[in-house]
Every structure is written in C-alpha cells, then in structure tokens.
Amino acid sequence: MRNLENIQSSRIYGRRHGKPLKPASQERLDRLLPDLEIILPEAEEERFHPSVFFDNAGKSNFGSYALEIGFGKGEHLAWQARANPERGFIGCEPFINGVSGLVDKVAEAGLENIRVYMDDARLLMDRLEEGCLDQAYILFPDPWPKSRHHKRRVVNDGNIRELARILKDGARLHIATDHRGYCRWILSHMLASPDFVWLDRGPGDWHERGEGWPPTRYETKALEQGRRSTYLRFERRPRKA
C-alpha cells in the first residue's frame, strides 16, 4: 500500500545544511550534481527500474543495483562504487554538505556508477519497482534516542516492508549502528519481519565490518569515543510463488 502523503508530511531526517561549503566544493557541486542527481518525475503512480537513472552514463545497464540510505559524506558509497564498477549505486542523503562530500569523492575517483537522491529515501523507495535491488545499506542511521522521537527512526516496520518489496529474493540488507538501544530495536523489528533472515551467527560476525569496507565518518567518531559498532546482515527470503 502506498503512503506518499504520510511520507511527505512526516519529516524523519535531521538538518539539511551545515557550514557553508568552501568555494571549490560549491563549484564542484554546481558543476557535477546535474549529471548525478535523481529527479523523480511527477507522475506518482509510475515506478522505475534503477537503470533509468543511469541513462546518461552511456551505460544504462549495470549487472546489479544497490541502494544506500543516509550515506553521510559518502565514504562507504564511494568505496563500494569503486570496488564494484559493474554495479550501479543509488545514494539517498538530504544533508547538502554530505552530498558535497560524496561529489568530491566521485570527482576524485572519476566514478560513473553513482546517482544521488537528495531527499528522504522513503520518497525514492516508493518509486522503485518490485525486486530491482541486489543490496541495500543503512549505516549508522540517526538513533533518535528519546522515545518521543522513535517515530523518526529510519528502520521501522513501514521501511522494512518497502525494502522487502524492492530487494530481489536473496538480496542483502546491511544495517550498522553504534547505539545499543537502536541495535535492539533494529533486531526486534527485523526479526518480526516475515521477509528477512538474519545471517549473523555470533559476535564474530556482528562485530566484524567485513568485506574490506572503510569505516564511515560516524563509525570513526564512535570508535574515538570508545563505542563498539554492530554490523547486521539480513537476506531477503524468496517470495512465495
């Protein structure tokens, strides 16, 4: 069931702007963003395969597609795109200074397999076709620790259902956090979902970032402040025939 009005009227992300950008970063953002930014067409009933967002790369068909929700300054997204040039990556991030950080990395590494949606990931997910993604990442989502803010948590039942809809059978969902309470919340909501299997078997799995990723900005801060992170891996169960 689609719930666009509810999404549009319930903002769940924090700030959009931080410090003013340095002139060089602003110039790079203005110059490069038009080729990277995803602008969703108005017709809200239409849904898209992610390949349409890469038409201007001269390579509209990557072998697979991945989504990162809340990529911050883009350390992980840029690393993944570089390590997997055959995969198209869509990153969602409403924080302009974060997008600028990613654009700098895209420019430095000459990456052609990243597209950016500069708004609430829920609006983009709503417009993606069923079963079109092979991977999704939610790394260090804002924990919103106060109970009255829990409704802003990006890992929630509605988004879990939406991720189950857009991920292929057998696709992976990675969620990391350094916040114990949010970790318990994520696990209880994910384990209640009929659509995902939790793959980790013990602390050796969930304390291991794995796959050679670099730590993200938030993860580095957490480490400096003595907080250990948890990395949760889930697999989309096969759909019933």
Ligand X SMILES: C[S@@+](CC[C@H](N)C(=O)[O-])C[C@H]1O[C@@H](n2cnc3c(N)ncnc32)[C@H](O)[C@@H]1O
Is 195 annotated in the active site?
Answer: no
Window 155-194: residues binding ligand X (CB under 6 A): none
For ligand X, the binding residue among 29, 92, 128, 175 (CB under 6 A) is 92
Closer of 104 and 120 to ligand X (Cβ)? 120
Smallest separation (angstroms) from ligand X to the CB of 239: 26
Q: Is 119 one of the annotated binding-site residues?
A: no
C-beta of residue 32 within 8 angstroms of C-beta of residue 103: yes
Closer of 111 and 176 to ligand X (Cβ)? 176
For ligand X, the binding residue among 28, 93, 118, 175 (CB under 6 A) is 93
Q: Is 142 one of the annotated binding-site residues?
A: yes
Smallest separation (angstroms) from ligand X to the CB of 181: 15
Q: What is the DSSP string of the chain?
A: ---HHHHHHS-----S--SPPPHHHHHHHHHHHHHHB----S-TT--B-GGGGGGGGT----SEEEEEE--TT-HHHHHHHHH-TTEEEEEE---HHHHHHHHHHHHHHT--SEEEE-S-HHHHHTTBPTT-EEEEEEES-----SGGGGGG-SSSHHHHHHHHHHEEEEEEEEEEES-HHHHHHHHHHHHT-TTEEE---SHHHHT---TTPPP-HHHHHHHHTTPPPEEEEEEEPPPP-
Closer of 86 and 224 to ligand X (Cβ)? 224
Smallest separation (angstroms) from ligand X to the CB of 153: 9
Question: Is position 150 an interface residue for ligand X (rule: CB under 6 A)?
Answer: no
Question: Which is the catalytic residue, given 35, 126, 134, 142?
Answer: 142
- Kindly indicate which of the ranges 8-16, 39-47, 108-116, 192-200 contains the residues binding ligand X, using the contact rule CB under 6 A: 8-16
C-beta of residue 7 within 8 angstroms of C-beta of residue 123: yes
Question: Is position 91 an interface residue for ligand X (rule: CB under 6 A)?
Answer: no
Catalytic residue positions, numbered: 142
Could you list the residues known to form a binding site for S-adenosyl-L-methionine, using ranges. Answer: 68, 93, 120, 142
Residues that bind ligand X (CB under 6 A): 12-14, 69-72, 92-95, 98, 120-122, 139-142, 154, 216-219
